[in-house]
Chains A and B, each alone.
Chain A
Amino acid sequence: MSARTGPDPSGASRDVAFRPNWTARAGWALLALYALYAATQLGFEPERLASGLGHGRQFLARMFPPNFSRWELIQSGIAESLQIAVIATVIGIAVALPIGFLAARNLMPPWVTWPMRALIALCRSFHPIIVAILFVKAIGFGALAGVMALIVASVGFIAKLFAEAIEEISLKQVEAVRATGAGFLSTLIMGVQPQVLPRFIGFATYQLDSNLRNSTMVGIVGGGGIGATLFTAYQRFDYDVVLAILIVIVTLIMVAEIVSGWARRVFQ
């Protein structure tokens, strides 16, 4: 940021055209200092980075070309991840809608909204992987633990956004619909839903994508899906298989994002 400072040569001080923004500069300086400090704390040493690059080259060499030979294994793993993602999203939405509805402060009294919001915050606080670990320890290995973990994650995300969407609707439009003699359901359908649906479709598809991403990972901790296959290959140093699996995962996620985009356009 440029600045022209100070008094002119005759000694009299003049108004400055661009005052240097000391707060901002101090802020940037602090950030830079912090970055350096954190880097040292975390082991960013030049030798490590250099040797890392060497390892990196070896590593990449072992990854190429990708090895698709164990295709059936990969296929069943991906299928299971898809199943986990779909089920978790559908059930998650079904559970999240009433919770989000009850958490809306413009519709519900505080003694209802506070516990609901606390529940939502609890669901969101922990990474799905951690939740998956807990479920694995509690109910055993397999897809069920993965599904349950992702349901918790979905509820946290969707209920929160759904409550926010409801809090932003215009109650006047709802009042007008009620004044025509419409019952509770009809008022919801014609007064509330049109105001909420487009945003809902947006975050529902986002959550589906997110669940798909996570469902490929929960296998690492025992929650089913292709994560387990990936981790096994990793631990056996079969990096070419790892690359193959990664390619499949990335492709799947990209396809899912495209399909979500279509769904959004069709339903909004």
Chain B
Amino acid sequence: MAGSALRETAAGPGADVRADDPRALVIRGLTKEYRPGQPVLKGIDLVVPGTGLTAIIGPSGTGKSTLIRCINRLVQPTSGEILFRGKDLAQLSGRSLRRARRRIGMVFQEYNLVERLTVMENLLCGRLGYVPAWRAWLRRFPEADIARAFELLDAVGLSGFATRRADALSGGQRQRVGIARAIMQEPEIVLADEPTSSLDPKSSVEIMEILSRLAAERGVPVVVNIHNVALAQRFAARIVGMSGGHVVYDGPPDRLSERDLRGIYGGENWLE
């Protein structure tokens, strides 16, 4: 198990500024045990910057997905704090949790669109946290939401797809709808759980490009969980490396050395 301590967070340049940024996400002492006594996350301390794309890399099973899902509470943390916009996300429940969730967009590895609904209806799901249930029932969403949806379809390159059923789309197209759905929420942060793992290399690059561009245009921070290191280095402003349930690297992509990568992934062979 990599025992190297956290780098860059406490002592690195600009670290304090990042933690004070009101748009930042601060994680303290986050622990998650799926089985008692076998923690997957072992006291994570992390500051996610309030701008730009942060990529979390690391081998499978090291808790990357668990970490992301703890933020919007799809997974319940065992202990710790997740501070965002003046609230501890780990303590919320009921209506306040829903209020927080509507401000957190999420993109899933397997897109998780509602297959039988059209692209437009899937996009409008992004507004469900803001409209009453009867609007969803009658599909009478506000004009502004529909206009926003059309704009986003243009932005992700799916103009004219509004009335297509989700299950009629290719993987890359579905993920673009997934990104658009997340942005429809007008989020304050976007989480992406392995958004490119089910896609071919070309689509993967397209998706990362769309994700980082849309977020940058709206000044929204993105946290991406990814196992393709090359993609991470290409698109991320900040890289967080995890190994064995700990954060073992936290810094800019250009400072990610081979030694760091070995510390994260272990072994030399895979680098060849």
In the complex, is A directly touching B at CB under 8 Å?
yes
Within 8 Å of chain B (Cβ to Cβ): is A191?
yes
Known: A172-B108, A189-B133, A190-B136. A181 touches B117 (CB 8 A): no
Instruction: Name the contact of A180 in the complex, choosing from B101, B116, B117 (C-beta under 8 A).
Output: B101
Residue of A nearest to B98 (CB): A181
Which residues of B are found within 8 Å of A189, using beta-carbon distances? 133, 136-137
Within 8 Å of chain A (Cβ to Cβ): is B48?
no
B114 adjacent to A195 (CB under 8 Å): yes
Known: A186-B133, A190-B136. A177 touches B114 (CB 8 A): yes
B103 adjacent to A181 (CB under 8 Å): yes
Within 8 Å of chain A (Cβ to Cβ): is B115?
yes
Which residues of A are found within 8 Å of B87, using beta-carbon distances? none
Known: A172-B108, A186-B133, A191-B114. A179 touches B98 (CB 8 A): no
Which residues of A are found within 8 Å of B102, using beta-carbon distances? 180-181
Within 8 Å of chain B (Cβ to Cβ): is A182?
yes
Within 8 Å of chain A (Cβ to Cβ): is B226?
no
Q: A91 CB to closest chain B CB, in angstroms?
A: 22
Within 8 Å of chain B (Cβ to Cβ): is A75?
no
Sample of 9 A–B contacts (CB below 8 Å): A173-B112, A179-B104, A180-B128, A181-B99, A181-B100, A181-B129, A191-B114, A194-B121, A198-B116
> What mask results when residues 165 to 184 of chain A are scored 1 for a CB within 8 Å of chain B, else 0?
00000101101111111110
A180 adjacent to B114 (CB under 8 Å): no
> In the complex, which of the residues A178, A179, A187, A194 has the most CB atoms of chain B within 10 Å of its own CB atom?
A179
Which residues of B are found within 8 Å of A175, using beta-carbon distances? 74, 112
Number of interface residues of B (CB under 8 A): 33
Instruction: Name the contact of A176 in the complex, choosing from B103, B113, B121, B130 (C-beta under 8 A).
Output: B113
Within 8 Å of chain A (Cβ to Cβ): is B263?
no
> What mask results when residues 196 to 225 of chain A are scored 1 for a CB within 8 Å of chain B, else 0?
001000000000000000000000000000
Q: A172 CB to closest chain B CB, in angstroms?
A: 5
Within 8 Å of chain A (Cβ to Cβ): is B176?
no
> What mask results when residues 113 to 148 of chain B are scored 1 for a CB within 8 Å of chain A, else 0?
111110001000111111101001100000000000
B106 adjacent to A194 (CB under 8 Å): no
Known: A179-B72, A180-B181, A181-B98. A190 touches B116 (CB 8 A): no
Residue of A nearest to B115 (CB): A173
